[in-house]
Amino acid sequence: MSKIITEDRFRVIASEGLGRVSNATAHSMAWFRGQLYIGTSCGNVSGSADTPRIMRFHADSGEWETVYESPLVPVNKRSHAPDRQLVKHVKGIDLDRYQQRRGVSTDVIPRDAGFRSMCLFQGRSDPEPALYVSSMSRYGGQILRTLDGESFEPVGEPGLGNPDIYSFRGLTVLGDRLFTSPAGTTTDEWLDRNLAPEMRVYVTDDPVKGTWEIASEEGFGDPANMAIYALCTAHGMVYGGTANPERGMQIWRTRAEGKPPFVWEPVVMDGAGAFNHNLAVSAMCEFKGDLYIGGGITGLGYDTVHDIGPASAEVIRIHPDKSWDLIAGRMRFTPDGLKVPLSLLGPGLGDFYNSVVWALGVHDGAIYLGTHQWESFRSIEIDAPEIVGGYQLWASEDGENWELVIDDGHGNPAELGIRTLASTPLGLFVGTHNHKRLLQMIGRRKQAKMDFNGGFEVLLGK
């Protein structure tokens, strides 16, 4: 009997951003003290109505409780500095006028745009395992901590001392150490949500004291690495995946022995032979002793800043001895020999519009994969009679034979991506990303019909 959860066994337990449709993303999840916590995010916070939250799910009643809200802070130059990627995607749209039509407050704004990563960790000063949460903020990303799930306090300075750091990715534990890497740059002139001012991994054994040490060379020693996109533990090591617009993603690993900075070794280079069409590592997960990695070009499969693409997502698998397999993608010759996709699925798992694998997770003996799928934007661009598209959820029991579980955003083409997956005693939770606001901004010029919901959803499968 298959262990894969079929679509009919998933139900929606949260929709329309849980009352805040501008909260487009269920960005992070963690199972803590017997309950599910999620961190929400808003792509363009403009006022108090957009305030991101950390929320807790009560399974017995089916209710959601807000346990933390971003504080409001005075607006300054950074508050509305243009987003480098967004501005290029929505040419001709006056974002300031769009905000004014929504009645946006100009005096105060949520400090945080959302909560990107969650992790359970017990540091030297923690009496018990605590939940650590990284925020996204134009004022410098912070790391929050809670012991009871009720009271959240920042540990360390904004940006860990560099307020130009927008956020921190991939809170990851190996032994008695917590690892993270900067994500995004925020300045008075512009915002880049992906590329950070520092391309390093940081480590601590006592986050409460706010002291972090550099755990890697800048960009793992390669100046072409523009960001460290993902961190994951596997094979008793920490793996780091980069974004590299010149030659494609790289994957490095370390045993983290001795004192930092640690010795890292290269595992896969040059976009796994696809070069910069595998621009960045977007997700990593260990399954049955191997590390599965999703790559591609974030956003709409085209990097507007570096003029790369279009391209679709790929999946590779790394063994402990550093050998690797192509699971889904384009067949090619590489320095490691001919690589044929073992799943017989091409780029995008057979769908050109799957730009990246955005989430990977394991539940009850199966691995699940969530995509970012942007066909709805193309539907508007070509004046299609109806808007189609939406995320896909795939699953496999052996890592090679995959089946499509959910297609077309579960019936909503604005549900572009699966942002997070969480395996819990209650079942598999799926957190989505909804792009209705941006679709409306683009589609208004073409009078596109958009009779579907905005705001993230959370699904539970069991």
C-alpha 65: how far from chain center: 23
> How far, in Å, CA of 54 to CA of 66, rounded?
6
What are φ and ψ of residue 333, in 5° steps? -85, 140
How far, in Å, are 10, 40, 368 from residue 26 at the CA level?
17, 5, 17
β-strand 165-174 against 153-155: which pairing, if any?
unpaired
Mean pLDDT along residues 117-141: 98
pLDDT of residue 88: 58
Q: What is the domain range of residue 390?
A: 7-461
Read out DSSP for 218-242?
A: GGGG-TT--EEEEEEEETTEEEEEE
Whether 162 has a pLDDT exceeding 60, the answer reads: yes
Mean pLDDT along residues 164-192: 97
Q: Band of the pLDDT at 90, cuts 50, 70, 90?
A: low
Q: Band of the pLDDT at 99, cuts 50, 70, 90?
A: very low
- Residue with the bigger pLDDT between 163 and 194: it is 163
The answer as to whether 207 is a domain residue is yes
pLDDT of residue 83: 87
**What is the average pLDDT value for the chain, to the nearest integer?**
94
The amino acid present at 129, given as its one-letter code, is: P
**Where residue 354 sits, what CATH number does that domain have?**
2.130.10.10
Whether 97 has a pLDDT exceeding 50, the answer reads: no
Do 195 and 304 touch, CB atoms closer than 8 A?
Answer: no
- Residue whose C-alpha is closest to residue 398's, from 340, 336, 327: 327
Mean pLDDT along residues 210-237: 97
Whether 44 has a pLDDT exceeding 90, the answer reads: no
Prediction pTM value? 0.95
Q: Band of the pLDDT at 98, cuts 50, 70, 90?
A: very low
Whether 359 has a pLDDT exceeding 70, the answer reads: yes
β-strand 427-434 against 354-363: which pairing, if any?
unpaired
Rg (CA), the chain: 21
The answer as to whether 40 is a domain residue is yes
The answer as to whether 1 is a domain residue is no
The answer as to whether 2 is a domain residue is no
pLDDT of residue 332: 98
Q: Band of the pLDDT at 102, cuts 50, 70, 90?
A: very low
**Of 75-79, 367-371, 457-461, the least confident:** 75-79
Token pair listed for 395: 């699953």
> Total domain count for the chain?
1
